[in-house]
Structure 1
């Protein structure tokens, strides 16, 4: 999300299945010996071990439609306050508690220790999760550099592409990576500049990791200049999945869905709700940016209605809540926050909500 909106979120049969999975799940950067050992109860279904692919406006795994819900978290690599961070043993606990077959969107910003990322990929694979991996942040959060038109025009060919070329090929055979995201919430004053960046940088990722998809990471159409501009950038061959971010405090899909969905359908690509969130706090908590602050219980109800509305749209491939953090970041006495934690009813709802899968 933008810096202004962020409130810094089954024994022999089983063994045989695991051996079968291992026979076709190609190794990623880690060897099997390096990864955390997968217990039977954590084994991902075999249908989840193929790569996530695109078939028109739907995502597929091994030929079957794949839809998902899950979370954003930017605190796996030290980007949050200490009480928010998910690290060490907490990382495995985080992935083990998520909905099977879900997705986590995380920020792998320039300079992140890839040994740390290896551990995260290992835990995600062990527990049947997929990852959307953001490679840089437009807003320059967590030590990254803020981006401007000059970056998208030519500057990305320096340190940014060096980072992409260092990271992406190391995981090219890792099906745990659902997709790469070139940039969190990119924007330019001229949509043709962003389109050219998507064409080139997305092309680099496709060359380095041909099994992986690329998401646009975009906000709403109006942040790029409107529906026509949003369509122009979504047409890029460097992009496979169209992204929408929204934080509307309503119990329904955002009004931004219609123009984003129109663009995605026009370019025959899936649409992903890459970020969505609702503020909550304890009684008396201050509102943020004049945005409605729900009680934790009311937020879970509103969020369920909103998520159901999105899942009722077959072209919406998935939705990722912003954001999951360690329990120390639970809503407090004074501050309203988007964050959710393990004991939040919203987290339970996202784990259990039915996901319609169109034929």
Structure 2
């Protein structure tokens, strides 16, 4: 089935919204949530503009031109700064740039309204259409051919964010591994498409055939230049001059994905792409967009990147990493990191960024999926004392232990049954809270909570069905009615504002 033939049901399921749109006020801009309140913690706008409540939020579809963002965020050593003050932010991730009805501009309006009502001032969104969007096949259909419809939606997204006082972190390439035979995930900008276009690359399976090929990267640079030199039809500003863009990320989670190159550094590639971005006159910060798992302390089971070496590239301004303390697929296996392990993992990444690289760092994705009791057994990883871990054979099949990973404990993974009564949204909110504590204590520049869907649970989903519905249909999605989650997000914004004031002083 091609992208143009994708059914609405499959489309919404791909977004994580199957059935949910029927209960989301038809995406009319009604983004109110119980307990919405005005907070005085917003510090990122360039002018003294009160933070709007939901009652102030626009109903969507019209831009006022009352823009709240005028100046660029810059880097000063290990800090982000705005107008001379330390800039730390409260972030979300959301798929904003879609050409699909009934989403499109109304979806953008919903997300921005929820963000403003929740003291969120930075959103990470793709600089390309999601692969399930029909526009994905034509946004860069061939060398020199671009889809105006999708770029028009991107224009609206940036203009709406500029009005809302919400900055954007924008990956330029969908770097997640794609096989050249996987049509739906093969659309440009992607390694597979550019590798296939090239006369000198042999892209069949491994992203290295894109990463190391000059011609394939020239096609990618063509896309970058088209986007950054484009004039937004609503703001009249070219994207290289647009302060609403906080960071251009070179790619989303690009890695070698080759058995002989796992975890190898991409510093040469980041240097090439980052330098090209700045050569176009872009005034924004440049980041990697990497996942960041290096297979060393706290994560011996995953090797994906060279976090320190990659971020040392001169063209990279800011470090980033992604973290999913509860990960895996419900139909196969799920790994749960203990709260202590989650904290230490994030602290370790911040320490590497500050002490080894010497640059600011943000968490580009932080998500926790909803799990129901139908999962059954899961793999729980935690730190134990040597005595507690004495019954586990080191480096054997699960359960397994890594006794050399820590000075004060043994990293152990065991098969366990979780207390499902205390899981679900409560556990997700707990994990979000752990992340806010680390961010506030370490100086992490921001966290992007994965991911906002401005919708509501359909009324026909009963209480008994809700856990499995959320797990199977929505996964890690944050809905606009998840009030306790937004309470955590807003509490972080308040603590963040105080810490920002203390550091600036």
Q: Identify the TM-score tier after normalising by the shorter chain.
A: 0.7 to 0.9
Task: Provide Cα deviations, 1:155-194, integer angstroms capped at 9, x if missing partner.
Answer: 5423211111111233011110001011111112276661
Relative contact order higher in (CA < 8 Å, ≥ 6 apart): 1
Q: Tell me which residue corresponds to 2:104.
A: 87
Deviation at 1:143, TM superposition (A): 3.7
Q: Is the 8 A contact 1:58 1:317 kept in 2?
A: yes
| Structure 2 counterpart SS, 1:59 | strand
Q: Is the 8 A contact 1:311 1:318 kept in 2?
A: no
- Larger-gyration structure (1/2): 2
Q: Tell me which residue corresponds to 2:7.
A: none
Change (3 A) 1:56 1:153: same
Query: Which stretch of structure 1 is more off in the superposition, 205-214 or 245-254?
Result: 245-254
Match runs of 1:288-299 below 5 Å: 294-299=423-428
| Structure 2 counterpart SS, 1:88 | helix
1:321 paired residue among 441, 449, 456:
449
Cα distance in 1 between the residues matched to 2:295 and 2:221: 25
Task: Provide Cα deviations, 1:201-243, integer angstroms capped at 9, x if missing partner.
Answer: 0001112243111111111241699799322111101211111
Q: Tell me which residue corresponds to 1:3.
A: none
**Normalising to structure 2: TM-score of the pair?**
0.57
Task: Provide Cα deviations, 1:6-54, integer angstroms capped at 9, x if missing partner.
Answer: 9949xxxxxxxx9989xxxxxxxxxxxx981056xxx63xxx5310111
Give 5+ residue unaligned stretches, structure 1: 1-5, 10-17, 22-33
Q: Tell me which residue corresponds to 2:64.
A: 37
1:77 paired residue among 72, 83, 98:
98
**RMSD of the TM alignment (CA)?**
3.5
Q: Is the 8 A contact 1:329 1:339 kept in 2?
A: no
Question: Are residues 1:300 and 2:429 paired?
Answer: yes
Cα distance in 1 between the residues matched to 2:166 and 2:128: 20
Q: Is the 8 A contact 1:285 1:334 kept in 2?
A: no
Change (3 A) 1:8 1:108: same
2:249 paired residue among 177, 181, 188:
181
Q: Is the 8 A contact 2:324 2:367 kept in 1?
A: yes
Q: Tell me which residue corresponds to 1:27.
A: none
2:153 paired residue among 79, 97, 116:
116
2:476 paired residue among 338, 346, 349:
338
Match runs of 1:140-219 below 5 Å: 140=178, 141=185, 143-144=187-188, 145-146=190-191, 148-154=207-213, 156-170=216-230, 171-188=239-256, 189=261, 194-219=266-291
| Structure 1 counterpart SS, 2:353 | helix
Q: Tell me which residue corresponds to 1:242.
A: 319
Q: Is the 8 A contact 1:286 1:334 kept in 2?
A: no
Q: Is the 8 A contact 1:173 1:211 kept in 2?
A: yes
**Normalising to structure 1: TM-score of the pair?**
0.78
